[in-house]
Chains A and B, each alone.
Chain A
Amino acid sequence: DSGVTQTPKHLITATGQRVTLRCSPRSGDLSVYWYQQSLDQGLQFLIQYYNGEERAKGNILERFSAQQFPDLHSELNLSSLELGDSALYFCASSGRTSGHYNEQFFGPGTRLTVL
């Protein structure tokens, strides 16, 4: 158990809809990262938040947005969903370990299916 929790575990919805995925980082971790994992694209970085502020952006679509709240949990919002958005979405956290290298600890993921 990595200490990172994600809800829901599974989500089935229709095209055009909007969903919210939730992540709680490990206790004490300030950074949260969101990744999308699909069969053909591998593990793709979407966005990072650090202590409530956006820190880095990757291949995140404009239809997607995220935020990190004062209690450090984070939400990823996906809107105007398309069939191609079906994937596993992972949250990872880091920041508690010492040194210059931020080891990332992944949650169990949310499997999104868009029908």
Chain B
Amino acid sequence: GENVEQHPSTLSVQEGDSAVIKCTYSDSASNYFPWYKQELGKGPQLIIDIRSNVGEKKDQRIAVTLNKTAKHFSLHITETQPEDSAVYFCAASSTGGSYIPTFGRGTSLIVHP
């Protein structure tokens, strides 16, 4: 089955800095890569996703890149703000079967004001 590795487990930055979270996956059949943000006491919320036919996608201060050859994808947050502090999860799934995503273990991002 799919295996998703996520690094780092904890990331501490100053407000205004950039943050990068990296994930690798093992199954070359995976072609959908969502990122979720989980704030304290809440469920994971989809913030951005990327399909395998796209190398990069941006949404305001958030961007995701995908390297299918190397089987890795990354989340980039620019101009971080204290409200970006949360746990971020990457996931990978394929269009075959039930689209069940395999999640990374999560990255706790702390943005210091």
Contacts and interface: CB of A to CB of B under 8 A. Distances in A.
B68 interface: no
Contacts, number: 52
Interface residues of B, number: 24
Contacts of A43: 44, 89, 103, 106
B29 interface: no
A55 B45 contact: no
A58 B100 contact: yes
Interface residues of A, number: 24
Contacts of A100: 95
Nearest to B95: A100
Given A106-B45, A107-B43, A101 B98 contact: no
Interface string B102-113: 111110000000
Interface string A20-57: 00000000000001000000001101001010000110
Contact of A90 (B43, B95, B101, B106): B43
Given A90-B43, A106-B36, 6 more contacts: A48-B100, A56-B97, A56-B100, A58-B100, A92-B43, A106-B44
15 contacts: A33-B100, A42-B103, A42-B104, A42-B106, A43-B44, A43-B103, A45-B102, A48-B100, A56-B98, A94-B99, A101-B95, A103-B34, A106-B36, A107-B43, A108-B43
